[in-house]
Each structure stands twice: as C-alpha cells, then as structure tokens.
Amino acid sequence: MAHLLHTTFLPSSSSLPQKSCLSSCPSHISSSRTRVHAKIREIFMPALSSTMTEGKIVSWVKSEGDKLSKGESVVVVESDKADMDVETFYDGYLAAIMVEEGGVAAVGSAIALLAESQEEIEEAKSKAAASSSSSSPARDPTPSAAAPAPESTVSVDKAVLVAPPSPSVVASAVHPASEGGMRVVASPYAKKLANELKVELGRVIGSGPNGRIVAKDVEAAAAGAAELGSTAAKVSGAPSVHAPPGFELESVVPFTIMQGAVSRNMMESLSVPTFRVGYTITTNALDALYKKIKSKGVTMTALLAKATALALVKHPVINSSCRDSNSFTYNSCVNIAVAVAIDGGLITPVLQDADKVDIFSLSRKWKELVDKARAKQLQPQEYNTGTFTLSNLGMFGVDRFDAILPPGTGAIMAVGASQPTVVGTKDGQIGMKNQMQVNVTADHRVIYGADLAAFLQTLAKIIEDPKDLTF
C-alpha cells in the first residue's frame, strides 16, 4: 500500500523570504523557487503500517551515486509485520546513505539524501556528515529536518517514498556482506529459496539485471552443492551433515522489529479482562471429509476456519470487538485470522469473508497467504483485518493449550490435536472416537460464559456434521 508523506520546501538562500512570508506571500514563493539552482531531498522512513513506529533497513537496492527514476525501488524496509520495497517519488541521484543496512530509524526520520544532479552529490554528502555528527542515533524519533538548515545555495526538501500497492512480485534485495564495497543483491524468492536450501548468497553469481540473484541461480547453486556433497560422502564413506546454526549461550539478543511489536501487543492484552472455556469436539466426520477432498487442495486449516466462520455468523457477539472500554462493535465481516509462526516472530494472515468463500477458494487463498507471510510480503489488509483468531498447534501433537487474546478482538480459539479416544456410547457401550480439545479465550467485557458456550455448541454441531462446509 502506498504511503505518501508530506514534504517541506526549505529555501536556503539568505535573500529569500523567511518562513513567515512563505505562508502569507504565495506569489513570492513561486519567484523564489525559480532562483534556486540546486535541490537536495531527504529520503525518510515511511510508515508501512498503522502500528509502525520505526523501521529497520534490510537492504539498500541502490548504492550511493546511483541514478534513480521515479517509482524505482531504493531500499527494503522491515516494518513490524513485513519486508517491503520502498520507491522514490522523484528522479535524481542517491547521494548519501545516512542509515546503513541493519540500522533502525523512527518513522519520519531521514535515512538518505537524494540529489537532483550529479554536481550536488558532494554537497549532499557534506550535509549528511554534518547531520550525523550533530544529531542523535538512528533510533532518535526526531527527524533531522527539524534542525535549522545551514545557509547555502542548495535547498533541502523531502523525497516522498512509496510502498508498491500489492504487486504480484515485489522486487527486494539482500546484502549479507558489505565489506570492501561488495554487495550481494537477490530477489525475495531467491532469498527464500536460499534459506530453505541452505545456500550462501554471497557465493552465488546472479544472472538477473545488474547481477541480481534470481531463483534459478540459487537452485543451480544448491544442485551443485548437493553433487559435491554426494561426491564427498562417497569418498569419505560417511553422509554429509548440516550443522544447526550456532548461537552463543547467555548472550543478550535484542528484539527484532516484529518481536518488539508482538511484545507490545502481549503487554496490551494484559489490560483486558479475559476468561477461558474448553470444549471437546468429535472429529470423525471432519476427518473423513478431509481425507476425501484433500487431494483437491483443501487444507485442514481452511476447514476449521470455514466451520468457525459459519458458527460466528450465528453468534455475532463472539465476532465483536471492544477497543475503547466504553463500547463494542458488531463486525459486519467474518474475517478469520490464523496464527502462523515465521522466522523471528509470529503473524496472523487473515481469511476475509470466510463464511462466504467456498472451501476450495479458501484453501488456495490460505496457501497464498502462508507463502507471503513466510516471505514477509503480506500487505497490511492481509494481516490487520481479523475479527476472530485461530491458533492451531494440533499438527505438532499438542492436545490442549490456552491462547492470549489479540488486542482489538473479542476472542481467540486454541485448537489441539485430534486423537483417538475411548468414550462411552449412549447405549452404555465403550467405543473409540477421534476427539479434539478447543479452548477459547474471550474478552469478558463483551462476551459472557453463556455466549461462548452457545457458540461452542454450534461449532461442535458443524464439525460433527460437516456437510455445510463444502457449499
């Protein structure tokens, strides 16, 4: 989603009208601007989500001195939810990088300077050096533009940065090394493949534009490594072993941007009065349905989300939300957020209108969302619009657990594994059934015990007779 930030034109010539005249004499502004022969703009940290207060520079797609065109990707920024390419809104040259890769900057603070022409690059570098020596570190939330501009024939403006609106493929970059001026640039999918295939990007030669590493380069490198490993194993007579990534015991590791956001949300959750209700649901019929339609691409997560959505339609208070402690909202949409663990954090992709979408489309959408989540490419509307949350640890063999209520929602349901259980039948016999435990954590300011019990009874009926899930 594109975020356009306000810009401020700062005349630097001592003969130009001062700030007071800029607001009262518009005719002077026009004539003054024509006398400005050079312009330097600040590239500053954009707000990529409504909850973002700071961002981390994942990688610079461009290097200092590179020519930029409007709409071209300049930097990859890690927000509290995803990695996103950020584009320049002006033509020019990337004159000076003020926040290096791995650095963190507050939203609105300068991270680089953009020069209008090559002649202004050195002037921009001088300004960046002066700003770095006189300002606080990158985490300081005060934008460097707040400092008085030194007198010069060069003006300083702000370069608007834009995040692309939900592209099908978002160009990204990864620079694992910067020593000696070496920079490795890769696409997001190549980065994902490299992580999965244990390929070191610094050793891969890119075949894309300007040497950019693409997926086929990573696959070729992985195939070559596998061939070498096989040969070595034959020579040594022992299989190759991949050592797990090392870590230092008792070391202090700072939160990532995402972990910090999760931490703040969890602390906020402590202020909400909650209660928990558990329920046992027989899953024989659901398991049989899943086995029947699994080959068509249907996932168990989609089936559970669909069943939950149909139950929420009949119990709208469970789908409500309370955000101000004085009122609550009956949400018009049933959007099921499902917790997904990703590298370095947790995110909840949202299946929107899950009650209305057929199970096959819902399953395809879920797979797409999971892929985007793990590549950190989710758009804000794909993770912040949930009205009810599912957390499923059943696939790990967990039989029961409690979940923490996400702020701004009415309830979250923790789903355990379905397991064969010996039960007594109505005729007094002993039988075997597959059963799972679900535990719901709810906001007690809005939802009461009887409401939740009725919802769980409806959910159990849908799961135990799942004929409506395939319509």
Question: In angstroms, rounded to a whole number, what is the distance separating the alpha carbons of residues 191 and 349?
Answer: 21
Note the helical H segments in 270-353. Answer: 284-293, 300-314
Amino acid identity of residue 397, one-letter, is G
Amino acid identity of residue 227, one-letter, is E
Residue 3: which region, alpha, beta or left (left: phi > 0; alpha: psi -120 to 50)? Answer: beta
Question: Using CB atoms within 10 A of its CB, is residue 69 exposed (0-12), middle (13-18) or buried (19+)?
Answer: exposed
Contacts of 227 (CB under 8 A, 6+ apart): none
What is the SS3 assignment for 276? strand
What phi, psi does 408 have (nearest 5°)?
90, 0
Among all residues, which ones are annotated catalytic?
444
Cβ(407)–Cβ(269) below 8 Å? yes
Cβ(403)–Cβ(265) below 8 Å? no
Pick the closest to residue 352 from 306, 420, 289, 291 (CA basis): 306
DSSP class per residue in 366-397: HHHHHHHHHTT---GGGTS--SEEEEE-GGGT
DSSP class of residue 428 equals S
H or E segment to which residue 452 belongs: helix 449-464
Pick the closest to residue 385 from 369, 367, 402, 361 (CA basis): 369
Q: Which two tokens stand for residue 223?
A: 């195939």
